[in-house]
Amino acid sequence: MGANFLGKTALRRMMLVVSKACFAAAACALLAGCDYSATAELHTGNVENNELRIGYQKSNVLLNLMRVRRVLEQKLEPGVHVVWQEFPAGPQLLEGLNIGSIDFGCTGEVPPVFAQAADAPLLYVLSERAGPATEAIVVRSDSPIKTVADLKGKRVALNKASNVHYLLVRAIEKVGLTWSDIEPVYLTPADARAAFESSRVDAWAIWDPYYAQIVDAGQARLLADGTGLVENRGYYLATRQLVSGQPQSFRVLLAELRAMSKWGDTHRDELSDFFAKVLEMDPRVMRVVGHRRKFGMESIGPEIVAYQQQIADTFLRLGLIPRAVDVDQAVWNEDRK
């Protein structure tokens, strides 16, 4: 019944969807160690220019708002279909971009460095304003750990290759420790919280809204946030194929992101309450998050490139990426159409 009922074209489309799902599942399995290089050759590509495939995380406010309100679906040319795919964190999202299952997404500042080191076909296209206070290293409320220096010999949970990876590096090096002085435990946010609450780790490097939530619950105490240590930017990243092959959809997407960010800056409580429903979190917690974050989009200028290069050079020095990365080679701007 299958082929005759569906028709050959529909059947091929179904096979493509199944193939992409298999690639995504394989990528998630490999990301237990964030081995981007293991799947660097698996570029499925976007075979249909009438699809705009966007990866998002639950913690990304603007993309979630656009998704729920169907903003892009109303603004794109007729016939362009928007496909939304959720990822647990930035490294997994960029693995999806690397293997060709999505065209666009947003992550923190570290995942693009790891992805670029694995030859992922990404381009930095926009940056959110720096928000160092929206990520932190926390310990349990009753922990004897009082300073970052006390983390020596301790187990610290973090999502490998995420924004907090660089925060943790900067924090321990500032107090004279080295990466080998701590025991990093690489876990996704959900698994890290379980390990933190059950005392299987001594500290947790995490970002909002999970940071705000664990502190509000009275289960955690701030050890250090990113202030004075990192910029903690969010980056919007696209495949080269999207930029060159779907320029109209790409520019509509950027314009709507800029507009959404401006709206969010003047409607923080409304945005926070919306986000509380999406994440099923206490609106009080989400208002803390909403007022702590910075709104506004910036082009990827020389200062941002230099900052990202500093991150890349740091991870190369620590042996956490396999080769040197030239961030500037992965930057899109109006002059590099």
For residues 10 and 332, the model is more confident at: 332
pLDDT the model gives residue 71: 93
- Beta-carbon contacts of 88 under 8 Å, excluding residues fewer than 6 positions away, are 57, 188, 189, 190
User: By the 8 A CB rule, do 308 and 112 touch?
Assistant: yes
Tell me the three state secondary structure of residue 117.
helix
Please determine, for residue 111, whether its predicted confidence score (pLDDT) is greater than 60: yes
Q: How far apart are CA 299 and CA 332, in angstroms?
A: 9
**Confidence category of residue 49, pLDDT binned at 50, 70, 90:** low
The alpha carbon of residue 337 and the mean position of all alpha carbons in its chain are separated, in whole angstroms, by: 25
Q: What is the arithmetic mean of pLDDT over 145-160?
A: 97
User: By the 8 A CB rule, do 297 and 130 touch?
Assistant: no
**Confidence category of residue 59, pLDDT binned at 50, 70, 90:** confident
pLDDT the model gives residue 258: 95
Tell me the three state secondary structure of residue 225.
strand
For 89-100, the pLDDT digits (tens) are 888 899 999 999
pLDDT the model gives residue 13: 37
Please determine, for residue 127, whether its predicted confidence score (pLDDT) is greater than 80: yes
Work out whether strand 155-158 and strand 183-186 pair parallel, antiparallel, or are unpaired.
parallel
pLDDT the model gives residue 241: 92
Long-range Cβ contact pairs of 279-286 (< 8 A, separation 24 or more): 279/58, 279/59, 279/209, 281/209, 281/213, 282/213, 282/216, 284/216, 285/209, 285/212, 285/213, 285/216, 286/209, 286/212
Q: How far apart are CA 304 and CA 299, in angstroms?
A: 9
User: By the 8 A CB rule, do 206 and 135 touch?
Assistant: yes
Angle at Cα 186 formed by Cα 181 and Cα 187, nearest 5°?
A: 145
Please determine, for residue 35, whether its predicted confidence score (pLDDT) is greater than 70: no
Beta strands in the chain (DSSP E): 51-56, 81-86, 104-107, 122-128, 135-140, 155-158, 183-186, 203-207, 220-225, 235-239, 297-298
pLDDT the model gives residue 61: 85
pLDDT the model gives residue 20: 37
| pLDDT > 70: percent of the chain | 84
pLDDT the model gives residue 10: 37
Q: What is the mean pLDDT of the chain?
A: 85
Q: How far apart are CA 197 and CA 183, in angstroms?
A: 18
Q: How far apart are CA 331 and CA 235, in angstroms?
A: 11
pLDDT the model gives residue 275: 84
Please determine, for residue 74, whether its predicted confidence score (pLDDT) is greater than 80: yes
Angle at Cα 269 formed by Cα 109 and Cα 92, nearest 5°?
A: 30
User: By the 8 A CB rule, do 76 and 85 touch?
Assistant: no
Q: What is the largest CA-CA distance in the chain?
A: 69
pLDDT the model gives residue 263: 92
Q: What is the arithmetic mean of pLDDT over 248-268?
A: 94
The predicted model scores a pTM of: 0.81
For residues 334 and 239, the model is more confident at: 239
Please determine, for residue 47, whether its predicted confidence score (pLDDT) is greater than 60: no
Among the ranges given (9-13, 129-133, 152-156, 173-177), the one the predictor scored with the smallest mean pLDDT: 9-13
Residues for the chain: how many in total?
337
In order of their start, the domains of the chain are 2-128+233-336 (3.40.190.10), 132-225 (3.40.190.10)
Q: How far apart are CA 160 and CA 288, in angstroms?
A: 26
Nearest residue to 202 (alpha-carbon basis) of 230, 176, 221: 221
Please determine, for residue 187, whether its predicted confidence score (pLDDT) is greater than 70: yes
Nearest residue to 170 (alpha-carbon basis) of 208, 132, 143, 203: 132
pLDDT the model gives residue 274: 87
Please determine, for residue 26, whether its predicted confidence score (pLDDT) is greater than 60: no
The amino acid at 125: V
Q: What is the arithmetic mean of pLDDT over 142-165?
A: 96
Q: How far apart are CA 131 and CA 296, in angstroms?
A: 11
pLDDT the model gives residue 321: 94
Please determine, for residue 39, whether its predicted confidence score (pLDDT) is greater than 60: no
User: By the 8 A CB rule, do 137 and 223 touch?
Assistant: yes
For 198-207, the pLDDT digits (tens) are 999 999 999 9
